[in-house]
Amino acid sequence: MARTWLSVTVELLGGRGVELWPWPGRIFAVGPAHTFLDLASSVNDAFARWDKSHLSMFILADGRIVTDAETGAEMTGGIGGPIIAPIDIGAAKVARTLKPGAEFQFTFDLGDDWTHRCIIGEKKIDPLEVLGIHPQTPLPYWGWGSIPDQYGRRWSDDDEESRPPRRPGRSHPMLLHAWPDQQPVPALDVTDLRAAIVSKDAVRFLSVVSGCDIDDALQQVGAGLPMALQQRRQEAEAVTLSIVNRLTWRGAAGDQTLAEDLLACLRREPLPGQVVPVDLDMLSAELEGDLDMSSGGYVDLRTGEVYDDNLTDPMMVGEDAAIDVETEPDRWLRFEPTGSRDGWRDMAAFAERQQDVALRQRLERAIEGKGAFRRFRDLVHDERLADQWQVFSTDRLMGRVREFLAGAGIRVG
């Protein structure tokens, strides 16, 4: 047989609150057809586990999780970190998922946390050379450490004469929950997100959302989830549950309303109110615009279109072009402008969340007194925070508009 199998070194770092040293280990021959579940079962056998009625989970260096479908769905539905689709432990092949030299983590029993460091050898092997057979499952062909070890080796290079390696000065990062290294989470591409929603492309929408920092854009992401659930329910359900949990935890204006609407979509229930396809961007511009430029307007409860007062005045736009809101009063929802006070609070909240003390203080000074909006806008541009601010402020604004509509019995459809 050609050298097509992987050589996977597995070392047991510790468990049940105890760190082992030297780390006992086994080296496994893993074939092209073997799944992560096959490897987990073989590791548990090699490390003398007789009660295997506990969960097994792999964590890859890029943060992806390999586990069973139920556990993966629960983890994806959490409220922290980016949404990353789990990998099915029973279907994914080790050799197709990872390359030689890859490092990954295996944990058995998520209560006792028996933590293993796994490394794929740089060179592939022939199982007939190292084992003398062609096994049906991954099989260890070398090992050391007290499990106990059948040859009494205490570490990989133990020659029964040399002293054990010196214990490191600090625990392995895996035991400190500091592995893999925290990599910057990419920002959500809001332009791509909106394009996916407008084009009703669920595959593109789910791809845009996956693996990105979405916590400042929950209202914007939530706007596309009903479409994703309709087209790709199986993939979208866990994402939707995660957004519901995050909205509930965040609790900003409109978050609870959106969470309730998404739960209704998950349960295939009608939304609790009159459903109108309101353009939230257009309505927000009218609601929180300059008080000197707007006196309010109307939402057409049939079409969702937004009209300012000028468009209802024949003297301003002409008799033929004016919108008649008196003939069918139940068709129109009146709104009054609220001005910029909530927008100022958004600037204050954005400044407060900055961890850099000096930057936070500069932003707080910028919003004091007359000209606050101009100074703040210039400063976030100079500090290269304009994109972050746009996502943050847009989400809060959409939430307030959604809350205003809900108060009138209107749900955005």
Does the pLDDT value for residue 244 go beyond 80?
yes
pLDDT digits (tens, 9 = 90+) for 346-376: 999 999 999 999 999 999 999 999 999 999 9
pLDDT at 184: 84
pLDDT band at residue 263, thresholds of 50, 70 and 90? very high
pLDDT digits (tens, 9 = 90+) for 269-280: 999 889 999 999
Q: Give the number of other Cβ atoms within 10 Å of residue 135's Cβ.
A: 17
What mean pLDDT is reported for the chain?
Answer: 93
Q: How far apart are CA 225 and CA 229, in angstroms?
A: 6
pLDDT band at residue 407, thresholds of 50, 70 and 90? very high
pLDDT at 343: 93
Q: How far apart are CA 115 and CA 85, in angstroms?
A: 22
Q: How far apart are CA 135 and CA 158, in angstroms?
A: 28
Does the pLDDT value for residue 327 go beyond 80?
yes
The percentage of the chain sitting over the pLDDT mark of 70, rounded to a whole number, equals 100
pLDDT at 232: 96
Q: Which residues pair with 106 in a beta bridge?
A: 58, 116
pLDDT digits (tens, 9 = 90+) for 45-60: 999 998 999 999 999 9
Q: What is the DSSP string of 135-190?
A: -SS-EEEEEESSS--TT--SSTT--SSSPPPPPPSS--TTTTT--S--PPPPBP-H
pLDDT at 395: 97
- Pair of tokens at residue 283: 């309505």
Which pairing describes strands 114-120 and 87-88: parallel, antiparallel, or unpaired?
unpaired
Closest CA to 394 of 110, 238, 190, 107: 190
pLDDT at 355: 92
pLDDT digits (tens, 9 = 90+) for 109-164: 999 999 999 999 999 999 999 999 999 999 999 999 988 776 777 888 888 889 99
Q: What is the DSSP letter of 318?
A: -
Q: How far apart are CA 243 and CA 223, in angstroms?
A: 11
pLDDT at 85: 85
